[in-house]
């Protein structure tokens, strides 16, 4: 009991002999001797004369239907059935997962100089110091660069192995920006071929403050300028080619393009031997670099941007007695890298120069507007109207209603000035205002006599204050901006301080 048992393969069934005269047997017929053997068992059932309480256990290890019945009553159907089914498949022991192959961590992006030392001939005009990027180059990265030397303010004829940024090369400062996938860029430094016999002189190029990468080694390179003369020669600034080339260096921060170089040299040489003509042409050629579109949209824009952002500084002059006067706030060490940043890759007249310039302006204005000095002066809690009004106040401009609305409108419907891009656009709107451009023109023209020709601030040695600056500004204003009549450019390009940058 029960007479039908359903089990799974591998289960066992136990029978108990309850009374005499009965036994259990397999198959479909009775077997003599009251014995049976199930198909997968070698042991027989209860032996004859089994006693009540005897037990028999059988394990069913194959699927099928098996009958059992009691002897001698098989004819009466005292039978039973054991149905052995496959049952649920045993859950296999999980196959061990293969140890996953580790995804390699990309090598960190590293920026470094390709060499710790470079050499350039004095007549080669330019040396390129290579910055390489290794490791993970899949994203953008940037690094600052700067030249430096041990010359300080020493005279250009001093021979001590130190190159000078006034006499031997043009300072290069800025940021190299690597696009995804870029692995190499160059810092280009302009070399001045002066006429002093100096022997080899050195300066340094360093990289610092990387973003999107770490700084490798070397991060500083020593550049050696190899002297190309055997004796000190005549001052090369008197030669038209050198004179024009140096103006590209000092005002545009680049090598001359061949067309421009030839044009301006011809302006001077067309005079033949007429010394009065040559002198006037040199003055006009020199002033042309300040007046050029390229400088007006780079260096002069930088001066106006500082004016709009921070107003004027105060300087001391002793003309008519010691007094204070408003002077441009931008300093030479600020002006130079910012001008180089806006002018990077710009050559007016070349195909696409307008696009390069506009992209540079946008990038520079955005970076300028996020500097800590600017965000301190113009916190983002200011309303758009407050922000723009303060820019115009600093610029000294009373804007038209149209200009004012356009600058405020850069912020859309915003109630604060947290939008960095809008801040940059509004700053440009004010900096490029036509009234500011006109009002600041003469101040910037005089400032560039010091920045461009003398490579220093107006109150740096040889000066001690802004007396010289005020003198030339007053004179230029007296002649309504006529630099020839004011003899301003003439005075600077014939000054001993300027000429001695290049030779005796």
Positive or negative torsion for Cα 339, 345, 346, 348: positive
53-67, 252-266, 490-504: segment of lowest average pLDDT: 53-67
Task: Look at the alpha carbons of 214, 216, 222, 223 in this order and tell me if their dihedral is positive or negative.
Answer: negative
- The answer on 332 and 466 residing in a single domain is yes
Shared domain for 388 and 433, answered yes or no, is yes
298 with 357, same domain?
yes
Query: Is there a single domain that holds both residue 494 and residue 382?
Result: yes
Q: How confident is the model at residue 31 (pLDDT cuts 50, 70, 90)?
A: very low
Residues 127 and 218 in one domain: yes
Mean per-residue pLDDT of the chain: 90
Q: Does the residue 242 lie in any domain? A: no
The pLDDT value recorded for residue 229 is 87
CA separation, residue 18 to residues 23, 52, 194 (Å): 9, 5, 127
For 401, the enclosing helix (H) or strand (E) is helix 401-408
Residues 115 and 81 grouped into a single domain: no
Number of structural domains in the chain: 3
CATH number at 19 reads: 2.60.40.420
- Is 388 within a domain? yes
- 105 falls within a domain: no
Main-chain dihedrals φ then ψ at residue 474, nearest 5 degrees: -60, -45
Tell me, what's the pLDDT at 236?
98
What's the pLDDT score for residue 77? Answer: 47
How many CB atoms lie under 10 A from the CB of residue 342?
Answer: 21
In a domain, 195, yes or no: yes
Asked if residue 276 belongs to a domain, the reply is no
Is 24 within a domain? Answer: yes
Of 193, 226, 259, the residue at which a domain comes to its end is 226
Q: Are residues 80 and 117 both part of a single domain? A: no
Is the pLDDT assigned to residue 98 strictly greater than 50? yes
% of residues, the chain, pLDDT over 90: 78
Same domain, 196 and 288: no
CB count within 10 Å of CB 343 equals: 25
pLDDT in tens, 313-329: 999 999 999 999 999 99
pTM: 0.79
Tokens found for residue 260: 């421009």
The answer to whether residue 302 scores a pLDDT higher than 90 is: yes
Q: Examine the domain organization and report whether 429 and 329 are in the same domain.
A: yes
In a shared domain, residues 124 and 71: no
Domain boundary at 226, 251, 273, which?
226
Give the model's confidence band at 34: pLDDT under 50 very low, under 70 low, under 90 confident, else very high: very low
Q: What is the CATH number of the domain that holds 172?
A: 2.60.40.2030
Question: What pLDDT is stored for residue 100 in this prediction?
Answer: 63
Same domain for 314 and 436, yes or no, is: yes
In a domain, 163, yes or no: yes
| Three-state SS at 92 | coil
DSSP assignment of 328-356? E---HHHHHHHHHHHHTT--TTSTTHHHH
Q: Residue ranges of the alpha helices (H) in 432-495?
A: 434-448, 467-478, 483-486, 488-493
| pLDDT for position 15 | 66
Residues 344 and 221 in one domain: no
Distance, CA of 296 to chain centre: 27
Residue 47's pLDDT band, with cuts at 50, 70 and 90, is low
Instruction: Give CA–CA dist 120/127, Å, rounded.
Output: 6
Per-residue DSSP letter, 191: B
Average pLDDT over residues 274-280: 98
pLDDT for 444 equals: 99
Q: Which residues contact 170 (CB under 8 A, 6 or more apart)?
A: 189, 190, 192, 249, 250, 253
Q: Which of 191, 226, 261 is the last residue of a domain?
A: 226
Q: What digits encode the pLDDT tens for the residues 170-204?
A: 999 999 999 999 999 999 999 999 999 999 999 99
Residue 72, in any domain of the structure: yes
Q: Which of 48-62, 146-160, 375-389, 483-497 is least confident?
A: 48-62
Q: Which residue in 323, 286, 281, 260 sits closest to 467, CA to CA?
A: 323
Q: Which domain holds residue 462?
A: 282-499
Beta 79-85 vs 4-8: how paired, if at all? parallel
Distance of CA 80 to the CA centre of its chain: 88
Can you say how many angstroms the Cα of residue 169 is from the centroid of all Cα atoms in its chain? 26
Return the residue matching tokens 């239907």.
65
């Amino acid at each position: 009991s029960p007479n039908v048992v359903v089990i799974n393969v591998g289960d066992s069934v136990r029978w108990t002999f309850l009374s005499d005269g009965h036994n259990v047997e397999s198959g479909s017929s009775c077997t003599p001797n009251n014995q049976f053997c199930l198909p997968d068992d070698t042991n027989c059932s209860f032996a004859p004369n089994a006693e009540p309480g005897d037990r028999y256990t059988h394990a069913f290890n194959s699927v099928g239907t098996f009958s059992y019945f009691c002897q001698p009553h098989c004819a009466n159907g005292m039978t039973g059935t054991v149905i052995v089914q496959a049952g649920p498949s045993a859950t296999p022991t999980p196959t061990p997962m293969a140890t996953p192959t580790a995804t390699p961590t990309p090598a960190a992006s590293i920026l470094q100089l390709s060499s710790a030392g470079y050499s350039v001939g004095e007549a080669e005009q330019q040396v390129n110091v290579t910055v390489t990027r290794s490791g993970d180059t899949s994203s953008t990265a940037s690094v600052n660069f700067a030249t430096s030397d041990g010359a300080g303010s020493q005279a250009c004829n001093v021979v001590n192995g130190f190159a000078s940024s006034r006499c031997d090369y043009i300072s290069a400062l800025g940021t190299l920006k690597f696009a995804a996938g870029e692995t190499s860029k160059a810092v280009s430094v302009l070399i001045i071929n002066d006429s002093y016999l100096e022997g080899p002189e050195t300066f340094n190029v360093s990289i610092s403050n990387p973003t999107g990468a770490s700084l490798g080694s070397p991060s500083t390179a020593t550049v050696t300028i190899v002297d190309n003369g055997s004796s000190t020669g005549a001052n090369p600034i008197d030669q038209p080619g050198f004179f024009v080339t140096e103006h590209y260096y000092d005002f545009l921060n680049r090598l001359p393009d061949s067309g421009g170089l030839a044009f301006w040299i011809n302006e001077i040489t067309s005079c033949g031997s007429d010394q009065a003509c040559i002198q006037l042409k040199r003055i006009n050629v020199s002033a042309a670099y300040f007046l050029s579109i390229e400088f007006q949209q780079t260096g002069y824009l930088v001066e106006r941007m500082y004016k709009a952002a921070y107003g004027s500084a105060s300087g001391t002059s002793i003309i008519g007695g010691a007094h204070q006067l408003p002077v441009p706030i931008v300093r030479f060490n600020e002006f130079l890298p910012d001008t180089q940043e806006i002018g990077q890759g710009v050559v007016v007249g070349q195909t696409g120069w307008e696009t390069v310039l506009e992209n540079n302006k946008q990038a520079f204005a955005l970076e300028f507007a996020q500097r800590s000095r600017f965000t301190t002066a113009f916190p983002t809690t200011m309303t758009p109207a407050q922000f723009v009004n303060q820019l115009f106040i600093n610029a000294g401009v009373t804007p038209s209603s149209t200009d004012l609305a356009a600058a405020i409108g850069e912020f859309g419907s915003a109630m604060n000035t947290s939008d960095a891009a809008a801040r940059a656009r509004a700053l440009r709107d004010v900096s490029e205002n036509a009234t500011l451009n006109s009002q600041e023109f003469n101040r910037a023209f005089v400032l560039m006599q010091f920045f461009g020709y003398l490579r220093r601030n107006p109150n740096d040695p040889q000066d001690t204050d802004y007396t010289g600056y005020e003198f030339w500004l007053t004179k230029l204003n007296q002649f309504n901006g006529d630099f020839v009549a004011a003899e301003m450019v003439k005075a600077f390009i014939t000054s001993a301080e300027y000429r001695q940058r290049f030779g005796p």
